[in-house]
Amino acid sequence: MDKKYGAYICTGCGIGEALDIEALTQVVTGEMSMECKTHEALCSKAGRELIENDINNEGVNTVVIGACSPRVMREEFDFGDDKITVRANLREQVVWCQPEGAGADFTQELASDYMRMGCTQAKKTDLPVPFKMDVINKKILVMGGGIAGMTSALEAARAGYEVTLIEKADVLGGKALGWRKQFPTSAPWSNLEENSIADLVNAVNANDSITVKTTTEVARISGAPGDFGATFKAAGTKGEWDAPFRVTVDEQDKIDKGQMDDPNVGMKKYTEANPAAEKFGSVVLATGWTPADVSEFEHLLPGNDKVVTNAQFEKLAKEGKVPARVAFIQSPGGEEHDKDFPYCNSVTSMVALKQANYVREDNPDGKAYVLYQHMRTPGNMEMFYKAAQDNDGIFMTKAAVTSVEEQGASLIVNAKDTLLNEDISLEVDMVVLAAGMLPATIDKASINLAYRQGPGFLDLDLFDGYADSHFICFPYETRRTGVYTCGGVRKATTMAETIDDAGGAALKAIQCIESADRGVSVHPRSGDQSYPEFFFQRCTQCKRCTEECPFGALDDDEKGTPLPNPTRCRRCGTCMGACPERIIGFKNYNVDMIGSMVKSIEVPEDDDDKLRYLVLVCENDAYPALDMAAMRRKGLNNLVRFIPVRCLGSVNVVWVKDALSSGMDGVMLLGCKYGDDYQCHFVKGSEIANKRMDNIGETLGSLGLEPERCAMKQVAITDFNKVPDMIQEFVDQIDELGPNPFKGF
């Protein structure tokens, strides 16, 4: 594309008053040799017309806008997919964030640098071209024929998609087949309902768009969204197309030396494609849960025949064998802790209430005791709780159940710290323990992908084994693009929650297929047309990109050369940050582009009052936090230059070197929290960046530069009031070190 540039500076929102616009224009026209026009309100109709006239009459196709933050006025400054628009943030990051009494020259220099960076970015940006697959498969594979899977299949079918539903048992229905009744699903939310699973099974069987395969399992799924290849097998069997286990480089080394058995003997390599595989566009994983084992809680007599789990009690209730006096124990911690049984979430609270109702239904003088540490009845289920509480024969108390003893034909339940303000014992005929719901992914891959990074999801220990990626920000998504989870495999859910979940997962699966079809990213950068491109001639097969990609988008060949799967990619750029050869880049976001922007910053020599700091800011949370700080007129140090990045994972250490070698005095990375409760939109980006910064610190040390000149800080989007101080702290720290000794070289 032949670029014709046009730069525009807005003088509204206080920009015109705070800056010498004449001088700023000269920076653009002079140093950057671009046409530059100003307007008092670029976002207004007249302002837009000014730009559109140049586009239409002068042939401008690359627009640099020096105005407000790129996070606002997106529609106003959208001139179409065939135009490049670059925003220089003069309002939030220059004018609105000036500390009190800031020297005018400082502010002016800051603005000039942002215009330089904007113009440089415009020069280094190309229009992205969407990645189009040759063939797209729009069928959806749903794994698991329980409530979640069947609902998901129905929702997808109703939306016009072909669905294949596989179930390992010989009938559809899953766990719900064994339930006597189900929770209320509509007002007044107080009465149990007849089990409706048969209706759901019938609806699935009657739907022409759904192909049901029972007693079937997935051996392996290879490929990528829009082109998954699923190999099926009879449930419970093994075969050569089973998904191979992950073998790390070290393990492979041991296998080669004969120190370790190859776990994948007799299995096809993960890169091998099964010609018989069935093609799908995306997958919904609804492989559910199994009741947890409670035998470890010995003080509750788990071995006694009158002590059962909630799952066993449901079966007894269905058979009509409900005794008159039953204690429901929700929390096994006794006096040690108040945790509920593991993996219970809120479901077991409501199950206890349901089963307490059975006790009352089946016995005129039935007494059901619910002994809990937590009673969790979210949403309208509060009404169900109230109704149970109102039942004459249902007795509830918070309690630390210390022991269960056998006494003749009865059981004695002893409890402390009850609401009755005394230690109580109850004589009952049966004790029901609120066993939790273990996700299918807790001990096996379940999804069985033939990926380089292994058959399962990564780091599920962060979610106690549930197949999840980020519960709050990205529900249904997993670490594998194109695979969406719902129901018990994602979280211990009730039927109603599962149904909601299933609809969500089906919609995600559809979104994925349609995005793949358009050649754009699914999430979280929905609609992004760019994708990473590799300059393979210079690849050294170091495998960093294939290892570090948080989403397993890159497979590799025998030698270790990456095999990209653009539809699996989320466009975070972690591969680009990882690549030591700098051969990975996007059309509109690459190593050269950011590096050039860094180098375009003017670094004064021999002026100790005008040190320069570079802060690479994650655009997801940290950048908005900076904008929010500016909107609240919190001063930001005006020696600092901010450059937004897609994710800290995309930060290539060469940018740090670029900054320091051009004389800047310090480089900071601002990104999301990582670790157990990470907030990184790309899961691993900020964590990886942190490791890289540790490593670069060592390198700097060997060059005679203080490692403290580089730092990484974690911020949440809500930290806007702390960010200015965090930055100031970093600046002060480097002030003590003095200017970069390489300044001027």
Residues that bind other proteins (CB under 8 A): 365, 367, 386, 389-393, 395, 397, 414, 419-427
**Pair 267, 240: CB distance under 8 Å:** yes
Structure tokens at 7: 């730069």
Q: How far is the CB of 645 from other proteins (least distance, A)?
A: 50
Q: How far is the CB of 302 from other proteins (least distance, A)?
A: 22
Interatomic CA distance for residues 161 and 139, integer angstroms? 6
Q: How far is the CB of 507 from other proteins (least distance, A)?
A: 37
Contacts of 251 (CB under 8 A, 6+ apart): 260
Q: How far is the CB of 186 from other proteins (least distance, A)?
A: 22
**Pair 700, 582: CB distance under 8 Å:** no
Distances (CA, A) of 630 to 95, 643, 720: 9, 16, 9
Closest to other proteins by CB, 420 vs 473, is: 420
Interatomic CA distance for residues 204 and 201, integer angstroms? 5
Structure tokens at 5: 């540039």
Helices (H), 601-738: 622-631, 653-661, 685-702, 723-737
Q: How far is the CB of 299 from other proteins (least distance, A)?
A: 15
Q: How far is the CB of 409 from other proteins (least distance, A)?
A: 16
Q: How far is the CB of 388 from other proteins (least distance, A)?
A: 9
Closest to other proteins by CB, 426 vs 647, is: 426
**Pair 264, 244: CB distance under 8 Å:** yes
Closest to other proteins by CB, 209 vs 363, is: 363
CB atoms within 10 A of CB 106: 16
Give the three-state DSSP class for 282: strand
Closest to other proteins by CB, 419 vs 563, is: 419
Interatomic CA distance for residues 340 and 345, integer angstroms? 8
Closest to other proteins by CB, 361 vs 735, is: 361
Closest to other proteins by CB, 389 vs 561, is: 389
Closest to other proteins by CB, 397 vs 733, is: 397
Closest to other proteins by CB, 413 vs 513, is: 413
Give the three-state DSSP class for 524: coil
Closest to other proteins by CB, 397 vs 699, is: 397
Distances (CA, A) of 326 to 418, 426, 430: 17, 10, 5
- Of 142, 158, 181, 203, the C-alpha closest to 495 is 181
DSSP string, 442-471: GTS-SS-B--TT-SS-S-GGGGTT-S-SBT
Strand-pair category, 278-280 with 227-234: antiparallel
The DSSP code for 632 is: T
Interatomic CA distance for residues 96 and 90, integer angstroms? 8
Q: How far is the CB of 425 from other proteins (least distance, A)?
A: 5
Q: How far is the CB of 307 from other proteins (least distance, A)?
A: 20
Q: How far is the CB of 342 from other proteins (least distance, A)?
A: 26
Interatomic CA distance for residues 474 and 493, integer angstroms? 17
Closest to other proteins by CB, 259 vs 421, is: 421
- Of 177, 397, 433, the C-alpha closest to 313 is 433
Q: How far is the CB of 422 from other proteins (least distance, A)?
A: 5
Closest to other proteins by CB, 239 vs 393, is: 393
Interatomic CA distance for residues 297 and 282, integer angstroms? 41
Closest to other proteins by CB, 255 vs 324, is: 324
What are the residues facing 614 on neighbouring strands? 641, 667
Interatomic CA distance for residues 501 and 485, integer angstroms? 8
CA dihedral over 505, 511, 515, 517, signed as positive or negative: positive
Q: How far is the CB of 375 from other proteins (least distance, A)?
A: 9
Residue 177 burial (C-beta neighbours within 10 Å; 0-12, 13-18, 19+) = middle
Quick one: angle between helices 495-518 and 147-158, nearest 10?
A: 40
Closest to other proteins by CB, 3 vs 416, is: 416
Q: How far is the CB of 354 from other proteins (least distance, A)?
A: 18
